[in-house]
Amino acid sequence: MKKVVLIITCTLFVNISHVFAQQESQYSMYMFNQLLINPAVTGTEDYMDAKLGYRAQWIGLEGAPRNFYGTFHTPIKKLKSEFDDVKPLAWHGLGGFATGELTGPLSKYKLYGSYAYHLPLSNTMVLSLGTFLGVQNYYVNRDRLDFKDNTADAAVNGNVSVITPDGSVGGWLYSRQLYVGLSILQIFNNKVKVADGSNPEGKLNRHYFFTAGYKIKLDDRWAVVPSVLIKGLSPAPVQFDINAKLRYQDRIWFGASYRNQDAIIALLGMTIDNKVDIGMSYDISIAKFRKYNSGSFEVLVGYHIPTKKLAPSHSYFW
């Protein structure tokens, strides 16, 4: 019984192939959809933003994570673009975030609503504060667990399904050229019991994310955007991404990322007619287990839904 409980606990609460034992899903396309890691991004755009994404982690490794997600957010009572000549009034943002991750016998689902308040500090700089509130569901499929001699362990009495409330908070400071974000995910530190009759309980630890980027205009067509993401989870070591993207006329961008002790990442994306977003990434593993997989792949598509009060525009954050 103890072995089965240990296996489930490790699957639920430790990403065994990450040195950093991170519980939150791994994304390489977060630069294309910052709402994945910070609720304060809700309502930042001049349009209603809808995105869908899929990530295949460690291709070729049996039971490796497969993640799909969808986000939506929109400004509320935003009367004009935040970067015009006159300081705008404050506005609100509303949205949502849903994701599912399949890892061997474990399925993990999340559903959140998001809210943010945007306070212009000037006609060029805005500060927003936001929150996610929702639930997480962990589901262990008993039929996909391997037992010695095909004998089920008494600790797993049927399929295991655990639902727990969850929340996150974040702040986002931004202009046309700059963004700086700080967020805390899984703020409730909830405990989760993983199997019937088991004493061990898993814990949804807080995750800390800091991100920043700056757009450097090279000429009328080209710009380069260096950025960084720092992730913290006690007591694990800090993990960081260093990124650089080259943008052409705010329509096409490509770049690369380095994630310490994990991967080198190639990035590519485009926006069609200021309405349709398409992006993809490929992670080349540099971790010790790289010989057991062929890297990771992620793809994202999005659509800008115009509002009646604001003209269509491109995003300033990808």
210 has pLDDT over 80 = yes
C-alpha to C-alpha distance for 129 and 117, rounded to whole angstroms: 5
pLDDT band at 20 (very low <50, low <70, confident <90, very high): very low
Q: Which two tokens stand for residue 19?
A: 């040195």
Q: Which two tokens stand for residue 248?
A: 């052409």
- Map residue 144 onto helix, strand or coil: helix
Average pLDDT over residues 132-155: 72
Q: Which two tokens stand for residue 175?
A: 């202009």
Average pLDDT over the chain reads 84
Domain that holds residue 136: 2-305
Residue 317's pLDDT is what?
A: 67
Residues with Cβ within 8 Å of 127's Cβ and at least 6 positions away in sequence, in order, are: 118, 119, 121, 171, 172, 173
Residue 131's pLDDT is what?
A: 98
Confirm whether 19 is domain-assigned: yes
23 has pLDDT over 90 = no
Residue 83's pLDDT is what?
A: 66
C-alpha to C-alpha distance for 109 and 100, rounded to whole angstroms: 4
pLDDT band at 12 (very low <50, low <70, confident <90, very high): very low
C-alpha to C-alpha distance for 12 and 109, rounded to whole angstroms: 12
The 10s digit of each residue's pLDDT in 275-295 is 899 999 999 999 877 778 888
C-alpha to C-alpha distance for 160 and 207, rounded to whole angstroms: 25
150 has pLDDT over 70 = no
Residue 16's pLDDT is what?
A: 34
Amino acid letter, residue 286: I
Residue 187's pLDDT is what?
A: 93
Confirm whether 315 is domain-assigned: no
C-alpha to C-alpha distance for 134 and 59, rounded to whole angstroms: 30
The 10s digit of each residue's pLDDT in 219-275 is 999 999 999 999 998 777 889 999 999 999 888 999 999 999 889 999 999 999 888
Question: Residues 228, 243: contact at Cβ < 8 Å?
Answer: yes
Average pLDDT over residues 165-169: 95
C-alpha Rg value of the chain to the nearest Å: 21
Confirm whether 180 is domain-assigned: yes
CATH number at residue 143: 2.40.160.40
Residue of 316 and 32 predicted with greater confidence: 32
Residue 8's pLDDT is what?
A: 42
Residue 1's pLDDT is what?
A: 42
Number of structural domains (the chain) is: 1
CA atoms within 13 A on the CB side of 19: 15
Confirm whether 311 is domain-assigned: no
Confirm whether 163 is domain-assigned: yes
Confirm whether 251 is domain-assigned: yes
Question: Residues 272, 252: contact at Cβ < 8 Å?
Answer: no
Confirm whether 178 is domain-assigned: yes
Residue 137's pLDDT is what?
A: 92
Torsion, Cα 190 193 199 203, to 10 degrees, reads: -30
Confirm whether 106 is domain-assigned: yes
Per DSSP bridges, beta strands 207-214 and 222-232 are: antiparallel
Average pLDDT over residues 202-213: 90
Residue 146's pLDDT is what?
A: 62
28 has pLDDT over 50 = yes
